[in-house]
Copies of this chain bind each other. A is one copy, B any other.
Amino acid sequence: MPTQVRDAYDTLADAYADFVRGKLEEDPLDRALLGVFAELVDGPVVELGCGPGRMAAHLHGLGVNVFGIDLSPRLIDIARHNHPQLRFEVGDMTALDLPDSSLGGVLSWYSIIHAPPAHLPGVLAEMHRILVPGGHLLLGFFEGPQVEPFDHKVVRAYRWPVDRLTGLGRQAGFAEVARVIRQSEAGGQRTGGALLMRKSS
């Protein structure tokens, strides 16, 4: 599956980067959540599935020491080009080349959506491993009544009930801090979710 996700994003990287460009500026709620995260984290932050780097760059602008990791080499090229002051590396969130307890925060913004559901406990365990005790995890995802795939434009993706994610988070050693659910705009089909958790054990 990482190979499929990598290849799909590599193929569509430029179109994807165009598609997301400017979206954060139009979105007060997403910016507010990044602001909360920036204020809570203490120590370096990694964005997992950083794509063209716009979220990492926003955190950097808020004073966060942040770097980005993505499966797609082409997206990492774009991120480096767009944000030359930041560090971006190709990597796989299921097996990160990062030391234990080394980070104050992990941001994953609509990137766990591409993990096959059975892999999610392993992904959360890896996020937990790299965080310091008390470190914060901010997950963005599509919310829905059950774990099921939906028609993502790039590659297969899954929506999740927020309670399932918090349950898996708890099993991985996270405590829920807050959850946000946003309704889709008129006519939209997708409910957005954000889950802020803290490494508690």
Contact = CB atoms under 8 A, between A and B. Distances in A.
A4 interface: no
Interface in A175-191: 175-183
20 contacts: A28-B35, A28-B36, A28-B39, A28-B40, A29-B36, A29-B178, A32-B32, A32-B33, A35-B35, A175-B183, A177-B182, A177-B183, A178-B180, A178-B181, A178-B182, A178-B183, A179-B180, A179-B181, A179-B182, A180-B180
A104 to B, nearest CB: 15
**6 tightest CB-CB pairs across the interface, nearest first?**
A32-B32, A178-B182, A28-B39, A28-B36, A32-B36, A180-B180
A49 B35 CA distance: 27
A39 B40 CA distance: 22
A179 B175 CA distance: 19
Interface in A31-46: 32-33, 35-36, 39-40
A179 B191 CA distance: 11
A199 to B, nearest CB: 14
Contacts of A32: 32-33, 35-36
Contact of A176 (B29, B40, B179, B183): B183
Contacts of A183: 175-178
Interface in A116-175: 175
